[in-house]
Chain A
Amino acid sequence: MKSTAVKEALIEVQDLTKVYGEGPAAVEALKGVSLTIYKGEFVAIMGPSGSGKSTFMHLLGCLDHPTSGSYLLSGQEVSGLSRDQLAMVRGRQIGFVFQSFNLLSRTSALENVELPMLYAGVARAARDERAQSILEKVGLAERMGHRPNELSGGQQQRVAIARALANDAPLLMADEPTGNLDSASSVEIMTLFQHLNQDNGITVIVVTHADDIAAWCSRIVTFRDGLIVDDRASKTRKARA
C-alpha cells in the first residue's frame, strides 16, 4: 500500500519514544518509531510481548502521552494535549475494541452502544436511533435489550464493535479482538472488520500475535524491542467472505 502516497494520511507518527520510570530504572518501551497509516487501511500490528506493540497501541489510541516525538491524527498534533483534550479526541475519533469486550454488566446491549454518545452529548432520541441502527448493522437487531451475560462471546464482541462505531469515528483500534473467542466467532468478527473497512471506509488497526488473524489485514507491521522491524503488505490476504 506504500504506492498509494496520494492517499490522505490518518496517522503520522515521527520518532515516537516512550520511557517508563526514571533514572537507572527507566525502561525504554519505544525507541523512536515513525509510521504513516492512510485512511482506509486495514493494519495488523504484531510482535512478541515486550516488543512495544501495546505501548504503541496506547499512544495511537490517545490513552497515553509519548515521552518525545510527534503524532498527527487527522492532521492534528495530539502528543501535547491535556488529559481532557485526549478524552475528547478518543470520544470523537477513535473506537476501541478490547480482548475482554469490556461491556458494562447488567446493562443492555443498546445502552452499552449509547455510552460513547452520552459523553459526546448526543440527545436521547438521536442516541436511541443511532444505537439501534448500528446494532442492526452488526447483526444484533434481535438482541438489543439483552445484557452481556445473556449473549455469546461473539455477540458480546459485536456489541463492543457497535459501541466503537457509535460516534462515527474514522479509526477503529482492536487489541487482540479474537483472543477470547473460538475460531468460528473469530472468523465472524474479522469478517465484520473487513466489511467495515471495505464498505464503510473505516481505518482498522488490529493488534494480534496470531498469524491467521493478521492474514485478514492488508498491511502487517511487526515490532521487536521497541522498534518496527518489518512493515509489508500482506501476501496471504484472505479473500472476501
Chain B
Amino acid sequence: MSFMVLVRTAWRALLRNISRSLLTMLGIIIGVGAVIASVAIGAGAQAVVLKQIESLGANLIVISPGSVTSGGVSLGSGARTSLRLDDVSAFVANVPEVAAAAPYSQTSAQVVAGGANWFTVIGGTTPAWLTVGNWSIAQGSFFTPDDVSRVTKVAVLGSTVAANLFPAGGAVGSTIIVKSVPFRVLGVLTAKGQTGFGRDQDDVVIVPITTHQERLTGQTWINTILVSASSSDTVAGVIDAGERLLRLVHHLSPIDPDDFTIRNIANVQAVRMATADTQAFLLAAVAIVSLVVGGIGIMNIMLVSVTERTREIGLRMAVGARGRDILLQFLIEALSMACAGGVIGVGMGIGVSFLVSTLAGWPTVITGASIVMGFASAALTGVVFGFYPARRAAALDPIDALRYE
C-alpha cells in the first residue's frame, strides 16, 4: 500500500471524528505550545542580557584600587590611590593576550555651552577606551594619543550631553566650559542607551586622561583600568598575568595583600548563562511531562479506535492486508494526530509569545531550533505511543476480527 494512500486513509479516519481527534491532540498542543512560548521568552531575556553585557565591552576586565583597612575599619574598594597611568602601559607591554587597555577616571561637573548647561560625568581616558568600551563615534572624531601626551583641552560628548547642550546640532567644533576650563568639542559618541542597571551610558563627556588629571581633578592616580582580553578564552589568563604584573610594578612583597581588585564581566555573564541553562532544563522537564501525558492520551484513543474498528481491520485483512499494512495504518494515524497537534502547538506557542511581548512587554525570540524541536518531539511522541495500539491491531486474528460485534 503506497504511503500517500496510507496518509490519506489516516486523515480520513481522524476527520471522521474531528472533535475527538482535537481533544486527543490537546495534550500535545499544550506541550509543544508551552515549549515554544517558554523557549521564546527565555531566549528573549537571554538576548537582552547578552546585549547589555556586550555593550559594556567584550571580554572586559575591570581593575580598581584595593581597599584600605585602617585600624580594623575597611574603607572599601577604590579608597586607595594605588593605580597609575604607568600601570596601563605596563599591561599593554607585558601581557600579550590584552587587546586594549585604557585608564578611566571620572568626576562630576556642570558643563556650559553658550546659553545651555548640563550636569554630567566627566571621564578621562585614552583612545584605547573606544575599543575597550565598545564605543564608536557618530560625528567628528575622537582625540588622539598625541592629545593625551600634550594635555590638549579637547572633549568628546556622549549623545545625551550633545542633545542637551546643542539641541539644534553643531556640537563638533564648538567650545564647552568645564570647571572654568574651555574644551574644544572634537566629536559625539554613538548612543548606547541604558545599562542593565538603568544608568544612561550616554550622559558623559570624555576628555584626555592627562587633561582630566591636571586641569579638572588634580589627581595623580586613576580610578580604574579597563582591560579588554583578546578573546573570551584568554580572560582568565589575562587576570592571572595582570595580578602578577601589578604586584610586581607596585613592589608588593609576598606577604602584602593586593592593593587592587580585578573583576571580570565574563563572570557575570557565566552566572546569567548558568541561570538560563537551569531554566531551560526545567522547561524541558515540564515539556517532557506534558508530551508524555499527551502521548498517553493518543495511546488511549488509538486503543479505543482499534477496538471500534475491529471489523474493519478484519475486512482489510480478508482482502489482502498484511500485518505491517495494518500496523502502518494505525501508526500513521497516531503520527498524523501528533504532527497535527505539533503544528497547532507551534502556532499557539508563537501566538502566546507574541501576546506576551505585546501585552506584557517582555522581549521574546522565536528560534527555528525550538520550532523544529517542538515539532520533532510531538512526532516522536506519536510514534512511541502509537506503536502499541498499532501492534495490537496488526496482531488481530482475521476471523475473530470479522466476527467482532
Interface on A for B, CB 8 Å cutoff?
A: 58, 61, 63-64, 83-84, 87-88, 90-92, 96, 98, 102, 104, 106-107, 115-116, 118-121, 163, 166-167
Contacts and interface: CB of A to CB of B under 8 A. Distances in A.
B192 interface: no
A145 B315 CA distance: 21
Contacts of A120: 320
B319 A96 contact: yes
B322 A84 contact: yes
Contacts of A61: 318
For the complex of A and B, list the 4 residue pairs with the smallest distance between their C-beta atoms, beginning with the closest.
A91-B320, A116-B319, A119-B320, A87-B322
Interface in B1-31: 1-2, 5, 12, 16
Contacts of B2: 118, 121
Contacts of A91: 319-321
Contacts of B314: 102
Contact of B399 (A64, A118, A119): A64
A116 B325 CA distance: 12
Given A61-B318, A64-B398, 4 more contacts: A107-B12, A119-B319, A121-B1, A121-B2
13 contacts: A63-B402, A84-B323, A84-B324, A87-B322, A91-B319, A98-B315, A102-B315, A104-B315, A119-B321, A119-B322, A121-B2, A163-B319, A167-B320
Interface residues of B, number: 22
A90 B402 CA distance: 14
B320 A88 contact: yes
A84 B317 CA distance: 10
A168 to B, nearest CB: 12
Given A102-B311, A106-B16, A121-B1, A115 B319 contact: yes
A119 B398 CA distance: 15
A102 B402 contact: yes
A88 B240 CA distance: 77
A83 B323 contact: yes
A96 B322 CA distance: 16
B215 interface: no
B316 interface: yes
Contacts of A118: 1-2, 5
A40 B312 CA distance: 30
Contacts of B311: 102
